[in-house]
């Protein structure tokens, strides 16, 4: 009997072990339990993924596992299946895939079930106290304290005493502990205050009609159209029938009010899983889901791997959001895995967005997903009007055109709030010498340093390098100038032009300080701030009813970027930012500054909205054979030496020659930024018409690539279904 164990190592394989000594019958063994095994000179904790009759290893080299850590599987069968599927599909080492699924505490061997130890004085302890012969004063004090109190948890004891003290007493049998399960507050489903409109009611009924079977639903509606209310209704029903629900959100920090809303509707019996949790909190949340006490789990990307034995429904909010794709290491898409998980578990999945990804729209068009449209916000008379400002024919003040300034003045006078969007943080994207043309470069990247005036620094947004702002040009000694605009500079310009309108700014620099996101959102919500300048972060979360004007300063960043998804992202951003604005009494206006007012996709977006844009964009994708009409994978590699990197990638291409039936291998090509953080970066692009050939090719090619000798410092990774191809 051989155990197949997934271990957290970069090797793309499972490891064989014999049963632990004295483990008895293996009949009760089930995959999904943790097992401690010797690995070289270390001990590792892995997951049992299978049991085999024999091993390819000679019997003499097989080692015995040390012990099983669980009696019941920590990962239930459908979850185990999902993880194995993900390791195969994304061609990532299976041990690392399992590691991504488990909180650190559980990977290190913490018990699978949560229990609190209640300490109390034993019979022997009471006798010892009564006899009066007990010497050690601190231990006697502890006994007396505990005797008087009845019982206490370790945390309560630790306020007065040291763990060594009660452990010493426990060793002598004078105190003992009884483990008791902490109780999570039971879920309560409180009634909603609103009556569903017709579109919502239809959508809720359709989703409920599929409880207990797999079905993928796309809920398409702008911010405020009532998507969350739909989620709450279907979750309430799934939970009432005894099930668990998993809700994925892009970023909890930006949507604290969503979790708040769930708590208001369902009481305390929900858990939130996100990067802000401590290790212990994450462990507890995971365990509560695993033992079925937590009925609703709201979490970011990795929450898709939460153990949910009674899973009945999955919701993916803002399904188009790029943060569902992991960008390093294990390149999975939580959105796509949610659909696979729902399919394996036989439950419905609900994808919601105002700007669905082209992949999801194509799935809906093809009938694989059911699309439900929610009309405009309840009560909103008209959607905002979008129009273009031609920057070629306009004087601009630090990037803000005269037409935009005029509109801002008009809206502010009328009592509206204004959002100004620019997806570039910092003061200016470059520092420039007009005398000799020198531009402050990053010493480690092929990139310019961004000027952060308030911090008095130049920063590289790619590698994080920082430098002092030079007073004069490094090569000719003449004075230097900030060129271009970042949010910091736009804030400065607008503060000068609108001295009476209090400003707020939201970008990664502002958000780095704790609590500032909430503070900024609060200033906008209360109406204290009149103008909000910000980046991509504005496209998420909040809806500001008093915002009547949105100005998008630079649409062109997205129009001609090399990436095939750039226009999709631009259209999503414009639509999402536009969706922050307006309500019934005050229709919204959206102004988009561009040098290319004739651009076809931009015009389709303006005149027909997101779906019109998407139809055109899908046509272009089909003509160019880009996803969703082709399947891609990117092999990215980086090394210290560019010639060696190139040789290595050429050798990888050679390995593909005899295999490449039905796939195209393109490259090597340098990354757009060929050097980052002192490493040269290049990639190979694998293209196929369908999943099958792509997967078969990768499965045979990657082991060959893996066996190539790489240059010093080589790092490579494979990204299946990449969001970016460079
Ligand atoms: P979304 O998730 O699409 O942004 P929400 O579900 O948050 O939309 O709804 C936006 C606002 O409208 C919320 O305050 C919500 O309580 C309210 N709302 C939703 N559905 C209705 C309805 N049928 N009638 C009245 N108000 C509603
Ligand atoms: Zn110079
Ligand atoms: Zn850099």
Q: How far apart are CA 256 and CA 278, in angstroms?
A: 17
Separation between Cα atoms, residue 358 and residue 586, nearest integer Å = 31
> Is ligand 1 within 6 A of the CB of residue 225?
yes
Q: What pLDDT does 139 receive?
A: 87
**Model confidence at 457, in pLDDT bands (50, 70, 90)?**
very high
Under the banding of pLDDT at 50, 70 and 90, the label for residue 351 is: very high
* CA distance linking residue 138 with residue 164, whole number of Å: 11
Pocket-testing residue among 191, 192, 194, ligand 1, by greatest number of atoms within 8 A of Cβ: 194
Residue from 543, 698, 546 nearest 631 by CA: 698
Q: Tell me, what DSSP letter sits at residue 555?
A: S
What's the mean pLDDT in 257-263? 84
Tell me: pLDDT of 93 over 60: yes
- Closest ligand by atom to 480 CA: 2
C-beta separation of 524 from 592 below 8 A = no
By most ligand atoms within 8 Å of CB, the mutation choice from 193, 226, 353 for ligand 1 is 226
Beta carbon of 201 within 6 Å of any ligand 1 atom: no
The model's pLDDT over 493-516, given as tens digits with 9 standing for 90+, comes to 999 999 999 999 999 888 887 778
Residue minimizing CA distance to atom 5 of ligand 1: 226
- Average pLDDT on 284-303 reads 91
Percent of the chain's residues with pLDDT above 70: 96
Ligand 1 atom at shortest distance from the alpha carbon of 193: 16
Q: Which of 370, 362, 365 is nearest to 628 (CA)?
A: 362
Give pLDDT tens digits for 202-255.
999 999 999 999 999 999 998 788 999 999 999 999 999 989 999 999 987 666
Give the CA distances from residue 478 to residues 122, 435, 437, 438, 561, in Å, rounded to whole numbers and listed in that order. Answer: 83, 7, 10, 10, 33
Average pLDDT over residues 547-565: 85
* Cis bond upstream, residue 34 (ω within 30): no
**What is the H or E stretch that residue 408 is in?**
helix 402-413
* CB 426 less than 6 A from any atom of ligand 1: no
Atom number, ligand 1, closest to the C-alpha of residue 229: 6
Choose among 512, 480, 487: nearest CA to 427.
487
Q: Which carries the bigger pLDDT value, residue 8 or residue 558?
A: 8
Instruction: Check if the beta carbon of residue 586 is closer than 8 Å to that of residue 546.
Output: yes
> Is 192 a residue whose pLDDT tops 70?
yes
Band of residue 41 on the pLDDT scale cut at 50, 70, 90: very high
Query: Is the CB of 196 within 6 Å of ligand 1?
Result: yes
Burial 124-153 (b: 16+ CB within 10 A, else e): ebeebbeeeebeeeebeebbeebeeeeebe
Q: Give the pLDDT score at 26.
A: 53
* pTM passes above 0.85: yes
Q: Report which bound ligand comes closest to the CA of 447.
A: 3
For the stretch 66-91, pLDDT in tens is 999 988 899 998 999 999 999 999 99
Give the number of C-alpha atoms closer than 13 A to the C-alpha of residue 256, restricted to the C-beta side.
Answer: 9
Ligand 3 mean position, distance from CA 462 (Å): 5
Residue owning the nearest CA to atom 26 of ligand 1: 194
Q: Whose CA is nearest to atom 10 of ligand 1?
A: 224
For residue 415, give every residue at least 6 positions away whose Cβ sits within 8 Å of its Cβ, in sequence order, or none: 546
23 pLDDT tier (thresholds 50, 70, 90): low
Answer whether residue 584 shows pLDDT above 60.
no
- Cβ neighbors of 450 (< 8 A, separation 6 or more) are 424, 425, 426, 427, 428, 429, 430, 458, 459, 460, 461, 486
Q: How confident is the model at residue 25 (pLDDT cuts 50, 70, 90)?
A: low
- In Å, how far are 386, 401, 418, 542, 597 from 591, measured between CA atoms? 6, 10, 11, 20, 12
Residues 477-483: what's their mean pLDDT? Answer: 91
Residue 395 Cα, ligand 2 centroid: separation in angstroms? 28
The residue-averaged pLDDT of 352-358 equals: 96
SS3 of 384, please? coil
In angstroms, rounded to a whole number, what is the distance separating the alpha carbons of residues 196 and 234?
Answer: 12
- Residue 112: the pLDDT is 80
Predicted pLDDT of residue 29: 81
Q: Is the CB of 353 under 6 A from ligand 1?
A: no
Q: What is the pLDDT of residue 539?
A: 76
Residue 431: per-residue pLDDT: 92
pLDDT number for residue 545: 81
Residue 414 scores a pLDDT above 60? yes
pLDDT at 381 over 60: no
Q: How far is the CA of 441 from the centre of ligand 3 (A)?
A: 8
Across 126-140, 402-416, 606-620, least confident range: 126-140
Ligand index nearest the alpha carbon of residue 676: 3
Q: What is the spatial distance between Cα 45 and Cα 609, in angstroms, rounded to a whole number?
A: 52
- Could you check whether the bond before residue 41 is cis, i.e. omega within 30 degrees of 0? no
Percent of the chain predicted with pLDDT > 90: 57
**What is the CB-side half-sphere exposure of residue 47 using CA atoms within 13 A?**
30
Instruction: For residue 613, report the distance from its CA to the centre of ligand 2, in Å.
Output: 45
Q: Is the pLDDT of residue 115 over 80?
A: no
- Outline where 414-530 has alpha helix (H): 487-497, 508-511, 516-526
Please report, in angstroms and rounded to a whole number, the separation of the first and last CA atoms in the chain: 47
Chain mean pLDDT for the chain? 89
| Separation between Cα atoms, residue 273 and residue 343, nearest integer Å | 23
**SS3 of the chain: helix, strand, coil, percent, to 5:** 35, 25, 40
Q: Average pLDDT for residues 556-566, to the nearest whole number?
A: 80
- What pLDDT score was predicted for residue 284? 87
Rounded mean pLDDT, 103-123: 84
pLDDT of residue 12: 85
Number of the ligand 1 atom closest to the C-alpha atom of 232: 6
Q: How far is the CA of 424 from the centre of ligand 2 (A)?
A: 25
* Confidence band, pLDDT 50/70/90 cuts, at residue 700: very high
């Amino acid at each position: 009997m051989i155990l197949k164990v997934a271990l957290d190592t970069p090797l793309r394989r499972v490891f064989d072990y014999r049963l632990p000594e004295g483990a008895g019958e293996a009949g009760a063994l089930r995959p999904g339990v943790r097992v401690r095994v010797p690995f070289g000179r270390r001990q590792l904790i892995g997951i049992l993924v299978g049991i085999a009759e024999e091993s390819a290893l000679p019997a003499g080299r097989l080692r015995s596992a040390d012990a099983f850590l669980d009696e019941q599987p920590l990962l239930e069968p459908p979850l185990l299946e999902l993880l194995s599927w993900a390791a195969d599909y994304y061609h990532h080492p299976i041990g690392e895939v399992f590691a991504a699924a488990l909180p650190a505490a559980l990977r290190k061997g913490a018990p699978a079930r949560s229990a609190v130890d209640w300490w109390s004085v034993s019979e022997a302890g009471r006798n010892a106290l009564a006899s009066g012969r007990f010497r050690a004063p601190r231990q006697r004090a502890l006994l007396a304290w505990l005797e008087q109190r009845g019982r206490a948890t370790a945390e309560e004891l630790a306020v007065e005493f040291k763990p060594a003290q009660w452990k010493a007493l426990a060793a002598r049998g004078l105190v003992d502990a009884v483990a008791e399960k902490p109780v999570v507050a039971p879920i309560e489903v409180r009634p909603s205050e609103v009556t569903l409109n017709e579109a919502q009611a239809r959508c809720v009924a359709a989703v409920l009609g599929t409880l207990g079977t797999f079905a993928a639903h796309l809920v398409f509606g702008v911010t405020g159209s009532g998507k969350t209310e739909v989620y709450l209704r279907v979750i309430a029903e799934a939970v009432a029938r005894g099930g668990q629900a998993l809700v994925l959100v892009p970023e909890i920090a930006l949507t604290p009010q969503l979790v708040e809303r769930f708590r208001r509707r369902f009481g305390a019996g929900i858990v939130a899983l996100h990067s802000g949790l401590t290790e212990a909190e994450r462990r507890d949340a995971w365990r509560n889901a695993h033992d079925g006490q937590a009925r609703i789990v709201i979490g970011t990307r990795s929450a898709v791997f939460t153990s949910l034995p009674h899973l009945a429904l999955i919701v993916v909010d803002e399904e188009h959001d790029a943060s569902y794709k992991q960008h390093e290491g294990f390149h999975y898409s939580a959105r796509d895995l949610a659909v696979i998980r729902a399919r394996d578990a036989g439950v419905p999945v609900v994808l919601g967005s105002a700007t669905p990804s082209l992949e999801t729209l194509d799935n809906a068009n093809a009938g694989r997903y059911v699309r439900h449209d929610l009309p405009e916000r309840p009560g909103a008379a008209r959607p905002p009007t979008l129009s273009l400002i031609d920057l070629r024919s306009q004087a601009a003040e630090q990037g803000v055109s005269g037409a935009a300034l005029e509109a801002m003045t008009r809206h502010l006078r009328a009592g509206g709030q204004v959002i100004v969007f620019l997806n570039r943080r910092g003061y200016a994207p470059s520092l420039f010498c007009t005398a000799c043309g020198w531009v402050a470069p990053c010493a480690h990247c092929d990139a310019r340093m961004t000027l952060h005036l308030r911090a008095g620094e130049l920063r590289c947004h790619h590698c994080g390098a920082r430098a002092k702002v030079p007073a004069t040009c490094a090569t000719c000694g003449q004075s230097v100038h900030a060129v271009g605009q970042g949010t910091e500079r736009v804030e400065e310009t607008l503060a000068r032009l609108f001295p009476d309108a209090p400003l707020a700014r939201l970008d990664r620099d502002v958000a780095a300080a704790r609590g500032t996101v909430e503070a900024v959102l609060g200033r906008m919500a209360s109406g204290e701030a009149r103008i909000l300048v910000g980046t991509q972060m504005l496209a998420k979360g909040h809806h500001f009813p008093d915002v009547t004007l949105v100005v998008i300063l630079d649409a062109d960043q997205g129009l001609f970027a090399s990436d095939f998804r750039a226009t999709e992202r631009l259209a999503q951003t414009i639509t999402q930012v536009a969706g922050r604005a307006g309500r019934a009494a005050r229709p919204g206006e959206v102004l988009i500054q561009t040098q290319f007012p004739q651009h076809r996709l931009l015009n389709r977006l303006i005149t027909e909205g997101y779906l019109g844009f998407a139809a055109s964009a899908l046509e272009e994708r089909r003509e160019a054979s880009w996803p969703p009409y082709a399947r891609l994978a990117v092999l990215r590699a980086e090394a210290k030496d560019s010639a060696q990197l190139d040789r290595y990638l050429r050798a990888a291409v050679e390995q593909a020659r005899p295999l490449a039936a039905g796939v195209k291998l393109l490259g090597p090509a340098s990354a757009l930024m060929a050097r980052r953080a002192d490493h040269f970066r290049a990639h190979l692009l694998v293209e196929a018409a369908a999943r099958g050939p792509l997967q078969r090719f990768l499965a045979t090619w990657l082991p060959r690539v893996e066996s190539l000798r790489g240059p010093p410092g080589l790092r490579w990774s494979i990204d299946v279904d990449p969001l970016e191809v460079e």
